[in-house]
């Protein structure tokens, strides 16, 4: 059960990538299941905890999605940071535009009862750019940090993207690259395979994971630290599992009618028997310079 190619098992072509991340809908459907995690620190807060940057810094996030990393950390972002949010998907950037507008509207209003960012510092400066990680439209050496949050496994030509990241980093700058372990969500992958067999987009090894990522980074940024956050989901909502399954490419077309009822029945029985649908998780971060 292996697949070749450079993209994540979720995504097997650039057309799949555009379809899967046309907007934030599928991403949010998968993210919602993490409310059942036994990890007390939300993932965006944990990632932000790893950032080792000065009060004034210029930061690029590639594959920024809907800006979730920043939405959940606005109370901690120094006002001296300049942050460029880049994504290949116009739909994702549309969600980021709404987020950025809210940040600056709150700062402009400066109503202590309504504002959602600290009043004692100016808001961080966000720029939005549609960009391909393999062809970054920035000058050499302009960023103190590049963040790649769960996205390098989507990149078809990772060596080219990593060379681009190294190019735009200043001397001493750091790449913060997060990804999953091969063990991450294994129970969910098994469930999806049960219904989709070889058509499952989760068959095979992730091309950039906690087990193989360090070797890929070392050719471009040789000083690497690695940290991980293991956990467990104890899902008690049948529909949360169903929404996750149906968020992957091809699932809605293959799992409908009686098959969808069968999926719900399997999850319901497991929750009844074990008290929850239990899924092991493990994600982590590489800090490379």
- Predicted local distance difference test score (pLDDT) of residue 107: 55
165 closest CA partner among 187, 135, 193: 135
- Predicted local distance difference test score (pLDDT) of residue 124: 66
Yes or no: say if 227 and 213 are a contact pair by the CB < 8 Å rule: no
Q: Give me the sign of the Cα torsion angle 182, 184, 186, 188.
A: negative
Burial of 136: CB neighbours in 10 Å, binned 0-12, 13-18, 19+: buried
Cβ neighbour number for residue 275 with a 10 Å cutoff: 10
User: Domain 14-182+204-232+281-288's class?
Assistant: alpha beta
pLDDT 10s digits, 26-70: 667 788 899 999 999 999 999 999 999 999 999 999 999 889 899
Yes or no: say if 137 and 114 are a contact pair by the CB < 8 Å rule: no
Locate all alpha helices (DSSP H) within 153-221, ordered by sequence.
158-168, 186-196, 213-218
* 3-state SS assignment for residue 160: helix
Distance CA 48, CA 238 (A): 31
136 closest CA partner among 82, 69, 61: 61
Query: How many C-alpha atoms does 129 have within 13 Å on its Cβ side?
Result: 17
pLDDT digit string (tens) for the chain, length 289 residues: 223 233 344 444 445 544 544 444 566 778 889 999 999 999 999 999 999 999 999 999 999 988 989 989 988 999 899 999 999 988 888 877 777 777 766 655 544 333 343 434 455 688 889 999 999 999 999 999 999 999 999 999 999 999 999 999 999 999 999 999 999 999 999 999 999 998 888 888 889 999 999 999 999 999 999 999 999 999 999 999 999 999 988 999 999 999 999 999 999 999 999 999 999 999 999 999 9
- Predicted local distance difference test score (pLDDT) of residue 118: 41
Task: Name every residue whose Cβ is closer than 8 Å to that of residue 101 and which is 6 or more positions away in sequence.
Answer: none
- Predicted local distance difference test score (pLDDT) of residue 7: 38
- Predicted local distance difference test score (pLDDT) of residue 1: 27
Distance CA 207, CA 229 (A): 20
Tokens of 96: 């980021």
Q: What is the DSSP-derived secondary structure letter of residue 7?
A: S
Distance CA 31, CA 95 (A): 16
- Predicted local distance difference test score (pLDDT) of residue 198: 87
- Predicted local distance difference test score (pLDDT) of residue 26: 65
Yes or no: say if 89 and 64 are a contact pair by the CB < 8 Å rule: no
- Predicted local distance difference test score (pLDDT) of residue 20: 46
């Amino acid at each position: 059960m292996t697949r070749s190619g450079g993209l994540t098992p979720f995504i097997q072509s650039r057309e799949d990538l555009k379809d899967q991340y046309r907007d934030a809908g599928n991403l949010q459907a998968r993210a919602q299941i993490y409310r059942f995690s036994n990890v007390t620190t939300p993932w965006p807060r944990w990632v932000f905890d790893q950032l080792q940057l000065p009060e004034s810094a210029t930061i690029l996030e590639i594959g920024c999605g809907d800006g979730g990393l920043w939405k959940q950390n606005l109370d901690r972002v120094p006002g001296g940071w300049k942050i460029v949010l880049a994504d290949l998907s116009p739909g994702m950037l549309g969600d980021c535009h709404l987020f950025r507008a809210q940040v600056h509207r709150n700062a402009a209003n400066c109503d202590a009862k309504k504002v959602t960012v600290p009043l004692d510092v100016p808001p961080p400066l966000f720029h939005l750019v549609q960009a391909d990680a393999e062809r970054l439209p920035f000058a050499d050496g302009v960023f103190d940090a590049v963040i790649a949050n769960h996205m390098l496994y989507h990149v078809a030509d990772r060596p080219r993207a990593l060379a681009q990241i190294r190019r735009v980093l200043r001397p001493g700058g750091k790449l913060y690259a997060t990804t999953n372990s091969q063990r991450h969500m294994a129970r969910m992958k098994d469930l999806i395979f049960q219904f989709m067999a070889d058509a499952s987009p989760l068959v095979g090894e992730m091309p950039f994971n906690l087990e193989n990522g360090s070797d890929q980074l070392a050719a471009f940024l040789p000083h690497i630290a690695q940290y991980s956050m293991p956990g467990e989901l104890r899902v008690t909502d049948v529909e949360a599992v169903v929404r996750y399954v149906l968020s992957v490419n091809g699932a809605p077309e293959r799992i409908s009618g009686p098959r969808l009822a069968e999926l719900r029945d399997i999850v319901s029985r497991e929750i009844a028997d074990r008290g929850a649908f239990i899924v092991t998780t493990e994600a982590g971060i590489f800090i490379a310079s």
